[in-house]
Amino acid sequence: MAKRGYHHGNLRQALVDAALQLIEEKGPQGFTLTEAAKAAGVTPAAVYRHFEGRDDLIAECALQGYEIFAEVMDYAYATGGPSALAKFEATGRAYLAFAAKHPGHYQAMFESGVSVNRTPELARAAEAARGVLERAAEELSQHIPAERRPPPQMFSAHVWAMSHGVVELYMRGAPGGRAPFPPEDLLETGIGIYLRGLGLIPADT
């Protein structure tokens, strides 16, 4: 597939696709530009026509990942259900689904060490993805008295951290090898405990 993309003039995307596959296999710091070039069917020198180095290539993988991620999260939020709670929970499930379906992108985004501020485009894409969860948190917390209402950024950051923890601890190893419960159940239960603490759902729910 990479060679076909190159012959069609899409060398840049062919290199990104090759890098994503290598990231899945070896991790974001486990491959070289030479390996990416070989997987794309071109010489190492050809890589530098599009990328300054490996981190630049990984940053492009992360950028495309954030763009997909934002679309997935936005769709989950828009179609998640009739209530703010249902839509909020849908964004959490979408986070897990994205990590499972796009492991190369996910690692480039969150495990590569490449800063989201490396380029303005990457920063904007990351902000757009965070913005979906922040909107969901803001809508859900409208009924909390203002003096007890956490800022949407903090609210969403808590849930983002919880989602990330579930992915890292229970979705990144051998299937079923370390997870005491399905990851979706772990996240749903954790979010439920958090929301009960804020008084957003009844204690007996």
Band (198; pLDDT cuts 50, 70, 90):
confident
Q: Which CATH number fits domain 1-51: 3.30.160, 2.60.40, 1.10.3470, 1.10.10?
A: 1.10.10
Q: What share of the chain is helix, strand, coil (3-state, %, to 5)?
A: 70, 0, 30
Residue 202 pLDDT > 70: no
* CATH code reported for the domain at 58-198: 1.10.357.10
Q: Give the span between the Cα atoms of 193 and 51, in whole angstroms.
A: 45
Q: Give the domain ranges of the chain.
A: 1-51, 58-198
Residue with tokens 């209530």: 83
Residue 162 tokens, joined: 């919880």
pLDDT digits (tens, 9 = 90+) for 27-85: 999 999 999 999 999 888 888 888 988 999 999 999 999 999 999 999 999 998 888 88
| Cβ-proximal residues to 188 (8 Å cutoff; 6+ apart), any chain | 89, 92, 93
pLDDT digits (tens, 9 = 90+) for 144-182: 777 778 888 888 888 899 999 888 888 876 554 566 788
Please tell me if the domain spanning 1-51 has the same topology as the one spanning 58-198.
no
Which stretch of DSSP H or E encloses residue 54? helix 54-79
3-state secondary structure of 172: coil
Q: Model pTM?
A: 0.85
Band (104; pLDDT cuts 50, 70, 90):
very high
Residue range 129-148: mean pLDDT, rounded: 84
Q: Give the span between the Cα atoms of 100 and 102, in whole angstroms.
A: 6
Residue range 184-204: mean pLDDT, rounded: 79
> Can you give the pLDDT at residue 180?
74
Residue 89 tokens, joined: 């929970």
pLDDT digits (tens, 9 = 90+) for 5-15: 444 458 899 99
Band (123; pLDDT cuts 50, 70, 90):
very high
Q: Give the span between the Cα atoms of 158 and 120, in whole angstroms.
A: 25
- 122 and 55 in contact (C-beta within 8 Å)? no
Phi, psi angle pair for 83, to nearest 5°: -120, 160
